[in-house]
């Protein structure tokens, strides 16, 4: 098997040629989940409702109301665009160990890929993205 989809960010691959590829379904689903979490609504051509837009929350105070809104949006988006995935947990935490870390967004999403009978976990924080 050569690959299932292009791996992002797109990079040249000396072995396969044009660009690196996702070689497993788990790897492809993980990339698609990250894309869903980081894409802002209105950003995707032909589907303005796609995306959670986590980046838009990076500079919001991390209070329970904001966390509940993010969790609801994640569950709604995954249900609609990735119905073969079941969310196990959404945990919010500080993305950094700094003095102002209470206002730094960190989200860990644990999920099950139903057809593969496999689980995965993604942690996204503004510091991990270099913001």
Would 13 be classed as within a structural domain? yes
**Do 87 and 111 touch, CB atoms closer than 8 A?**
yes
Would 36 be classed as within a structural domain? yes
Number of compact structural domains in the chain: 1
Inform me whether the pLDDT recorded for 10 exceeds 80.
no
Mean pLDDT taken over the chain: 83
How far is the CA of 4 from the CAs of 16, 52, 112, in angstroms? 12, 24, 20
Inform me whether the pLDDT recorded for 121 exceeds 80.
yes
Would 54 be classed as within a structural domain? yes
What is the predicted pLDDT for the residue at 99? 44
| More confident position, 16 or 83 | 83
Distance separating alpha carbons of residues 53 and 73, to the nearest angstrom: 9
**Do 82 and 36 touch, CB atoms closer than 8 A?**
yes
What is the domain range of residue 95?
Answer: 5-125
Would 131 be classed as within a structural domain? no
Which of 20, 21, 34, 22 lies closest to 82, judged by CA?
Answer: 34
Would 119 be classed as within a structural domain? yes
Would 66 be classed as within a structural domain? yes
- Mean pLDDT over 103-108 rounds to 78
Would 96 be classed as within a structural domain? yes
What is the predicted pLDDT for the residue at 92? 86
What is the predicted pLDDT for the residue at 9? 72
CATH number at residue 73: 3.10.450.40
């Amino acid at each position: 098997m050569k690959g299932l989809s292009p791996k992002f960010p797109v990079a040249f691959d000396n072995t396969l040629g044009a660009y690196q590829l996702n070689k497993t379904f788990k790897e492809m689903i993980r990339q698609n989940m990250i894309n869903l979490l980081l894409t802002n609504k209105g950003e995707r051509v032909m589907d303005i409702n796609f995306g959670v837009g986590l980046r838009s929350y990076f500079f919001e105070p991390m209070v329970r109301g904001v966390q509940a809104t993010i969790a609801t949006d994640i569950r709604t988006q995954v249900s609609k665009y990735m119905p073969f995935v079941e969310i196990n947990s959404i945990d919010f935490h500080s993305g950094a160990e700094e003095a102002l870390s209470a206002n730094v967004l960190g989200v860990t999403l644990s999920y099950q890929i139903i057809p593969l009978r496999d689980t995965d976990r993604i942690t996204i924080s503004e510091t991990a993205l270099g913001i």
